[in-house]
Amino acid sequence: MPILSLNIRAALLSVVMLVVGLLIWEAAIPGQKAVAELTEYEILTGAGSAKAGVPPPSAVIAKAWEQLSNPFYDAGPNDKGIGIQIGYSIYRVLTGYFLAALVAIPFGFLIGMSQVAYKAFNPFIQVLRPISPLAWMPLALFIIGDSEASAIFVIFICSIWPMLINTAFGVAGVREDWVNVARTHELGPIKTAFTVILPAAAPTIVTGMRISIGIAWLVIVAAEMLVGGTGIGYYVWNEWNNLDLTSVVFSILMIGVVGMLLDSAFGLLQRRVTYVE
């Protein structure tokens, strides 16, 4: 009997685990009693109305089908499709993230090129880096005033550090030999930066970018719970207030899927810039 390839075996195992997991989950949720079976007393005390509870997977799948078949509907401030909510979150994440990249990568480059700058900036970076990005929120709200811009600022501040540190580290660690190759070929500083140092440090820089986008996606959910209005984080909190746990579970899954897609986009980029010495 031919043995299936490793990937196929792994995929089969994944499917089996998923099915078994869903079945256990389904079986573990007690069904609600039909109204007809209740005593009059029970009906009078309100047991007939639907009870909030953790939904079975079948309910979540039905919800997903309903939501994903019309993801962009907009029926007022508290009732928007999941596509619109995720769109807002991605827009905030990408705006804050690219602003951060615009600052962190050139700045990291400069710090990485100069040992003095590296050492001089290091204490500030080390103090600012461990601050939870949400701790900036009150200050951002007060100074910026606008909640939308504050959310973007929080994304900016949380994604700047991994990119800054990795860029500086990557640039500082470029092999002396390669810099010497540039020097013996009389390349100017700008040309050296782009043709030698940038490609040499690119794998480290992209790793930093990948860490940053992951953190940004983690933070946006919490930030949107605070600022409200729109976004997937707001959606989760809003459905919790509605006690619609099916929507909560569904949106949790969506957060995971979008996070995975963002990460794999950077994974692709990382594979392109990686080289073997």
Partner 1 sequence: MKPYLSIEKLTQRFPDGAGSDLTVFENASFGVEKGEFVVILGHSGCGKSTIMNILAGLADPTSGVVVMDGKEVKGPSLDRGVVFQNYSLLPWLTTLKNVTFGVKARYPDWSKAKVEEHATKFLAMVGLEGDVIHRKPSQLSGGMRQRVSIARAFANHPKLLLLDEPFGALDALTRGTIQDELLKIWGQMEQTVFMITHDIDEAILLADRILLMTNGPQARVAESVEITIPRPRKRTEIVEHPNYYAIRNHLVQFLGKRSKELAGQLTNDGETNRPEYVRIDKTEAPDDPEDKQPALRAVNS
Q: Which residues bind partner 1 (CB under 8 A)?
A: 177-178, 180-181, 183-187, 195-196, 199-200, 202, 273, 275-277
Nearer to partner 1, 142 or 275 (CB): 275
- Residue 117 has which token pair? 């700058």
Q: Judged by CB, which is closer to partner 1: 167, or 230?
A: 167
d(CA 257, CA 277): 34
Rounded Cα gap, residues 221 and 241, in angstroms:
16
CA distances from 151 to 62, 85, 134, 146, 163 (A): 32, 14, 9, 9, 19
41: exposed, middle or buried (C-beta count within 10 Å: 0-12, 13-18, 19+)?
A: exposed
Beta bridge mates, 74: 80
CA dist., res. 68 & res. 60, Å (int): 12
Of residues 201 and 232, the one with the C-beta less far from partner 1: 201
The Cα–Cα gap between 64 and 66 comes to 5
Least Å distance, CB 105 to partner 1, is 18
What is the closest distance, in whole angstroms, from the C-beta atom of residue 190 to partner 1 in the complex?
14
Phi, psi of 41 (to 5 degrees): -60, -45
Report the nearest approach of partner 1 to the CB of residue 207 (Å).
Answer: 15
Q: How far is the CB of 120 from partner 1 (least distance, A)?
A: 24
Query: Distance between the two ends of the chain, CA-based, in angstroms?
Result: 41
Task: Report which of 120, 122, 112 is spatially closest to residue 205, judged by C-alpha positions.
Answer: 112
Q: Which is nearer to partner 1, 27 or 268 (CB)?
A: 268
In the complex, minimum distance from the CB of residue 181 to partner 1, in angstroms, rounded to a whole number: 5
Least distance to partner 1, CB of residue 80, Å: 45
Among residues 87 and 203, whose Cβ is nearest to partner 1?
203
Q: Specify the amino acid at residue 139.
A: L
Q: Which is nearer to partner 1, 82 or 202 (by Cβ)?
A: 202
Fill in the amino acid letter for 201.
Answer: A
**Rounded to the nearest whole angstrom, what is the least distance from the CB of residue 264 to partner 1 in the complex?**
22
Taking the CA atoms of the chain, what radius of gyration do you get in angstroms? 25
Closest CB to partner 1 among 171 and 223? Answer: 171
